[in-house]
Amino acid sequence: MPGDPNLITTTIMSSATQTTIPKPEEYQRLQLDPFKPILTLSRSITRPYQPSDADALAEKANSPLIARNMRNAFPSPYTCDDAKSWIQLATTTTSDNAVKHAFLPDPSVYLNYAIVSPKDGSFLGGIGLRPLTDIEHRTFELGYWLAEDAWGQGIMSELVQKFVGWAFHTFPDLLRLEANVYDYNIKSSRVLASAGFRQDGIRRSAGAKDGKIFDMLVFGMIGSDVQAENYDYQ
């Protein structure tokens, strides 16, 4: 409402008009409490990384079975120094992790989050978004990983369904989410399919890792693909 001091707005300028629109409540929430979880589900809590996560992150991520499904930027072995560097990057909104959108010029929202247990707060993994560039600047790539001792519990299947609702709600100019899966990672393909992603294509022999060549499966989702119940992501 006009004059409401609690309403965070941004101004869009064009050659002919000037329009003020409300920013999504996600930005308001982050300004008030940047460490509050973005998703609290039955099997997991998704929250910003904290410096105290470093030891647990290094322990859980230091797995060849996890690394084989990740890009080479994911360290293996995964040391405590690697964990500290990642946490610093993931929680610095003035870096590339802060995305400047056409409708939201100065967002201060994190794109990468820790996954922890709702029972005891133990570290379970990570999930996040990577903005693409040029004509794909309204597309984010989705990535995630889960600790070995958390596999087979339906954690990621539940989380990805709600995370996509959070993403499209938080970034109004987002057109598409994309995920690239190595052809041998059947479980990840199933997670994406259950969340409503469609396999848009196959990039033949696009991946080479650990001496092996493999196809990359391209999964995509646009806003109209999101199941209505997943927009209610809380």
User: Each residue of 22-33: pLDDT tens digit?
Assistant: 455 666 666 667
pLDDT-derived band of residue 169, with 50, 70 and 90 as boundaries? Answer: confident
Model confidence at 152: pLDDT above 50? yes
Contact 178, 220 (CB under 8 A): yes
CATH class of 25-175: alpha beta
User: Each residue of 49-89: pLDDT tens digit?
Assistant: 999 999 999 999 999 999 999 999 999 999 999 999 999 99
Contact 107, 98 (CB under 8 A): yes
Longest Cα separation, the chain: 62
How far is the C-alpha of 56 from the C-alpha of 202, rounded, in Å? 35
List of residues 6+ apart from 16 with CB closer than 8 A: none
Q: Where are the domains of the chain?
A: 25-175
User: Each residue of 91-113: pLDDT tens digit?
Assistant: 876 444 445 544 444 455 678 99
**What is the torsional sign of CA 113, 119, 121, 126?**
negative
Work out the average pLDDT over 151-176: 92
